[in-house]
Amino acid sequence: MGKKIYIYDTTLRDGAQSEGISFSVQDKMRIARKLDELGIDFIEGGWPAANPKEDTFFREAATSLKLRNSKLVAFGSTRRVNTTPASDVILKGLLGAGTEYVTIFGKSWDLHVKAVLKTTLKENLRMIGDSVRFLRKKGRRVIFDAEHFFDGYEENPGYAIETLKAASDAGAESLVLCDTNGGAVTSGVFEIVEKVKDKLNVSLGIHAHNDGDMAVANSIAAVQAGCIQVQGTFNGYGERCGNANLVSIVPALQFKLGLDCLSSLALKEFTEASRYIAETANMRHQDSQPYVGNSAFAHKAGVHVNAILKDRRTYEHIDPDRVGNKRRMLVSELSGRSGIVGKAGELGIDIGKATGRAGNILSLIQDMEKEGYQFELAEASLTLLMRKASGAFKRHFALEDLRVIVEKRGKSGMISEATVRLRIGQAERHTVALGDGPVHAMDRALRKCLSEFHPSLKHMHLIDFSVRVLDEKAGTAGKVRVLIQSQDKSASWWTVGVSENIIEASWQALIDSIEYKLMKDDRWRKKKR
């Protein structure tokens, strides 16, 4: 393993500035514990004294956040213009947080000194030096973030370096070069870091924003040029276009450059951690995210799938297991027989060695996709289809009658009523249910009929429903594709239905959803035996 690179996470502070994210104190505590489990070196907890929530977090962290691997860091700025450190509210707040490490930022771009702080360049240097010295005398270890460093260096390199020297001479043990506007170009970052390293004998870090979509590349280039600390956020959360994404940076540094960031066991937890943090942030996890996204190791084209089955290196830059992800074979009209065989194996379905059955399944899928079906997301429907085609499907019930009524009564809202008659083995059940809409009513009626025979359905519910018109020119007569996501105590799954009638399409997806649940239960019972 190569030299140690220190990972500094700022999800709880910079990440919280992302549009749509608002962490509660308990959210921050949960994320901090997850980061500690991974062995992240530094966790920036927030800006104490900025608001009551931040103060509450640091108070609770001091008593109940027992970090085993990480150092909690309080964040703030240098003292204000023409004040003393001892009287500065921000520096007092940093001390009050009680953390061993503090990070303060200061201006390194002379434009900001003149236009924002409206003070002299010398006073700004005094602000940096005074603040660092004050915190060091109080026993704190100081990391200095040189805000807007790359923009500042481009316009006035001499002064930008002076700001770093002011912090270093005052006792800062790490200087972090910030691309705060996120517009730096990778080659420029590399060159500037090299020049800074030649002028200063102190450890350097990088803090990149993603406004030019280069934050990951810029961070990696900075490390190659000499930085030993990387700041960023999980999933790239952050203001505007986000911060450098640690979920991409850490595997790249470790697997591509052979550097020592985290343990191999921690990296195996990266996919789970990324999704956990997204869930805690109430943000949708991005399927296309490198390394940890649901689509990161998904293969669709027949040529790709055929090659992957022979040697995974043909179309995968790393083994997905190294970051806790998994390979997925997508089945569509673009698939070949190899894709069908690979997907069947992935789903645990034996379609035999003969290529004829795989060819028949492929033809069926191609015909259905021509009609508007799509199985890339609706993997539960695909599983049922393949089991039916291979003769391994067990039908649990059959529809005898379905009637759905939607009516408006007086000034009240719309009322939906579904009447269902099912045959379950030799028994027949007939029931009626009301719902907030026709799909809800059908779902309730179905499960009402079946729960007597399959009690586990009481623990299943719908969590998402989407409709897409497949032919906009046909207007209300066009086909629609309905996708339904269902969930039980252990997992969630998607099913699909297609028809000119939205009720029929919804019914198809509902039937698949329940059949998939019952199939899962059957397989679980067999394993238990």
Is residue 71 situated within a structural domain? Answer: yes
Asked if residue 354 has pLDDT above 60, the reply is no
87 and 198 part of one domain: yes
328 and 198 part of one domain: no
Is residue 88 situated within a structural domain? Answer: yes
Q: Which residue has the higher pLDDT, 349 or 499?
A: 499
- Rounded to two decimals, the pTM is 0.74
For residue 213, give the DSSP letter: S
310 and 441 part of one domain: no
Residue ending a domain, among 214, 241, 262, is 262
Is residue 267 situated within a structural domain? Answer: no
Q: According to the model, what pLDDT value does residue 462 have?
A: 86
For residue 495, give the DSSP letter: E
- What CATH number is associated with residue 96? 3.20.20.70
> What is each CA distance from 131 to 246, 384, 401, in whole angstroms?
29, 65, 77
Per-residue pLDDT, averaged over 491-507, amounts to 91
- What CATH number is associated with residue 446? 3.30.160.270
Q: How far apart are alpha carbons 257 and 137 in whole angstroms?
A: 38
DSSP 25-84: HHHHHHHHHHHHHHT-SEEEEE-TTSSHHHHHHHHHHHHH---SS-EEEEEEEPPPTT--
Is residue 269 situated within a structural domain? Answer: no
Asked if residue 88 has pLDDT above 90, the reply is yes
Tell me which residue of 99, 107, 105, 108 sits closest to 70, measured CA to CA.
99
Tell me which residue of 305, 225, 525, 195 sits closest to 208, measured CA to CA.
225
DSSP 344-356: HHHTT----S-HH
- Give the lowest-confidence range in 3-7, 195-199, 474-478, 483-487: 474-478
Q: How far apart are alpha carbons 498 and 483 in whole angstroms?
A: 9
Q: According to the model, what pLDDT value does residue 329 have?
A: 67
491 and 372 part of one domain: no
Report the DSSP pairing between strands 328-329 and 203-208.
unpaired
Structure tokens at 440: 């809800």
256 and 315 part of one domain: no
Q: According to the model, what pLDDT value does residue 464 have?
A: 86
Per-residue pLDDT, averaged over 404-427, amounts to 86
Structure tokens at 513: 């959803």
Asked if residue 298 has pLDDT above 70, the reply is yes
Asked if residue 355 has pLDDT above 60, the reply is no
Is residue 235 situated within a structural domain? Answer: yes
Is residue 24 situated within a structural domain? Answer: yes
429 and 369 part of one domain: no
366 and 226 part of one domain: no
Residue ending a domain, among 338, 354, 389, is 389
Q: How far apart are alpha carbons 33 and 27 in whole angstroms?
A: 10
Q: How far apart are alpha carbons 421 and 398 in whole angstroms?
A: 9
Asked if residue 340 has pLDDT above 80, the reply is no
Domain that holds residue 137: 6-262
Is residue 287 situated within a structural domain? Answer: no
Q: Looking at the 3D structure of the chain, how many domains does it have? A: 3
8 Å CB contact between 113 and 166:
no
Tell me which residue of 182, 183, 223 sits closest to 204, measured CA to CA.
223
Residue ending a domain, among 210, 244, 262, is 262
8 Å CB contact between 228 and 5:
yes
Q: How far apart are alpha carbons 42 and 35 in whole angstroms?
A: 9
Q: Which residue has the higher pLDDT, 369 or 515?
A: 515
Q: According to the model, what pLDDT value does residue 421 have?
A: 92
446 and 360 part of one domain: no
- Give the lowest-confidence range in 153-167, 274-288, 319-333: 319-333
Q: How far apart are alpha carbons 98 and 455 in whole angstroms?
A: 53
139 and 240 part of one domain: yes
Q: How far apart are alpha carbons 241 and 18 in whole angstroms?
A: 8
8 Å CB contact between 482 and 466:
yes
108 and 78 part of one domain: yes
Asked if residue 151 has pLDDT above 80, the reply is yes
CA Rg, the chain, in Å? 29
330 and 212 part of one domain: no
Is residue 405 situated within a structural domain? Answer: yes
93 and 191 part of one domain: yes
